Structure 1
Amino acid sequence: MTTQHLQNRVDPWGQLRTVASRGTRMGNRGILHNDANQVVRPWKHKRWVTCMLEFKQIKRPKPFSRGNYSELFFLDEATAFAAGHRPCGDCQKARHLDFKEKWLAANVDAQLRSAISMDDVDKVLHAERCVPGGGKTTFAATLGELPKGTMFEFAEAAFLVSAAGYLPWSFDGYGPAKRIDGATAVTVLTPASIVRAFEQGFVALVHASAGLDDPAAVASAQKNPS
């Protein structure tokens, strides 16, 4: 019997796709589906988060259950950041706080940081990641200036800047590094303020195929829920 996959796998452009590969992170943008489990909106709120697949043995309902938020899935955290998501404050509290600290240090004057809430951060991220109707907000940069963890578009494909080089992205993992001149102008997919947080020292977790294992990646990479 053929498994019916949902339109809930997220690519680095933030688009929702219908593919079998699950990935290693889950995400939330609110309730995006209707009673027929069809996606009818690209987001419901501005608190786009990325979550652990499992947390404190909590049993989540079947994805796209009636009245529940639409569970989204990412290859890894770097992909989630490129799409404009940030760590959840519930299942990843320490990581959430570390991200906020680095993000504020990179983007907000020191005397103003104590007054900035995560809602304020989410408003900035929302303006940086998408346009009305669901399109992707991007910016141009010179490749060699981008920090590790950043994702960019080149030759109509997505790539990760990593310690192993420029790695082509897919729903199943990263391919071998490609040689691209560092002086090349590229389209950056990761929101600008998150790129600055990477420059401040925040490190995005990446899929095991990148050669720098995310501890959550290996055990769950082959599971394919609806």
Structure 2
Amino acid sequence: MPLKNRVNPMGLIESSKARGTLMGNRGVLHNSKKEIRRQFKNLAWITCLLEFKGRKRELMSPGGYTELFFLDEVTAFAAGHRPCAECRRARYNEFRDAWSTANNWSGTSKVRAPEMDKVLHQERIENGQKVTWIGKLADLPHGAMFQVDSEGYAVCEDRVLAWSFEGYREASIEGLPEMVDVLTPQSVVKTFAAGFRPEFHYNARNLG
């Protein structure tokens, strides 16, 4: 049985044999039996490289942070994660600057990670439940994810793709409602709309 460490667009942690393209964490979530005991421990929900400076560690080691895995960056953003400022520093800087501009950050200096995390946390979870918001499907930018009848979808250029842990598949926009439950936090959708391009799993390029 695979470990329960795969994250879906709703931000929920599940079991899956599928391999992700990004790792990340929310703090220590597991016990000594490698069982998930909580959904998050801190406000810094990050996404990391699968490999960094040759570091090796046992998954879900005692007292260590819980390694989580994501299909791709689009999924991670929908779940409420942001790039790590250490192993993905260039991507973090790019996202931070784009997020600041798109959301009219009014601070006297560049937004700091804890300040972004506070906003993102309010937009991703409330009383233990995923925060969604109603948006017009036709207005959603590239990379935004939404949900219809418990199924996750992503906007990819002028297409809509259906999500799974294994990858994406083509979906017809016909039959989907005009207004949808958006999974990606609002401040992140604004960032996408302003030009920041989240990365899709490689199989999305082979569809269509």
Normalized against structure 2, the TM-score is what? 0.94
Taking only aligned residues, the RMSD between alpha carbons, in angstroms, comes to 1.7
Go from structure 1 to structure 2 and tell me whether the alpha carbon gap of 1:105 and 1:63 turns closer, same or farther (over 3 Å shift): same
Specify the SS of the correspondent of 2:120. helix
1:117 aligns with 2:98: no
Structure 1 residue 181, shift from structure 2 partner = 6.6
Letter in 2 for 1:88: C
Deviation at 1:62, TM superposition (A): 1.4
Post-superposition Cα deviations, 1:5-51, rounded to whole Å, max 9, x if no partner, equal 11110000000001111210101100000111111110000000001
1:108 Cα shift? 2.4
Number of the residue aligned with 1:168: 162
Residues 212 and 26 of structure 1: CA distance in aligned 2, closer, same or farther (over 3 Å): farther
For 2:96, the equivalent position in structure 1 comes to: 100
Q: How does 1:1-226 map to 2 (within 5 A)?
A: 4-59=1-56, 61-109=57-105, 111-112=106-107, 114=109, 116-133=111-128, 135-163=129-157, 165-180=159-174, 184-211=178-205
Aligned length: 207
Question: Counterpart amino acid of 1:52?
Answer: L
Shift of 1:177: 3.2
Letter in 2 for 1:193: S
Counterpart-to-counterpart distance in 1, 2:43 and 2:68: 15
SS of structure 2 residue aligned to 1:47: coil
Q: Contact (CA 8 Å) 1:164, 1:177: kept in 2 or not?
A: no
C-alpha distance in 1 between matches for 2:108 and 2:155? 29
Contact conserved, 1:129 with 1:138, CA < 8 A, in 2?
yes
Q: Deviations over 1:86-125 (max 9, x none)?
A: 000111101000000000001124x525163210100000
- Share of identical aligned residues, percent? 44
Aligned partner of 2:78: which letter?
A
Which residue in the other structure is 1:222 paired with? none
In structure 2, relative to structure 1, the CA distance for the partners of 1:151 and 1:113 (3 Å cut) is: farther
Q: Relative contact order (alpha carbons < 8 A, sep ≥ 6): 1 or 2 greater?
A: 1
**TM-score, L = length of structure 1:** 0.87
Q: Does the C-alpha gap of structure 1 residues 115 and 176 become closer, same or farther in structure 2, counting only changes over 3 Å?
A: closer
In structure 2, C-alpha distance between the alignment counterparts of 1:180 and 1:29, rounded to whole Å: 37
The question of whether the paired residues in 2 share the 8 Å contact of 1:168 and 1:178 is answered with: no
Return the alpha-carbon distance in structure 2 between the equivalents of residues 107 and 212 of structure 1. Answer: 33
**Contact 2:155–2:161 (Cα < 8 Å) also in 1:** yes
The structure in which a higher percent of residues are strand is: 2
Task: Give, as a single letter, the amino acid of the residue that structure 1 aligns with 2:62.
Answer: R
Q: Secondary structure, in 3 states, of the residue corresponding to 1:65?
A: coil
| Superposed displacement of residue 182, structure 1 | 8.2
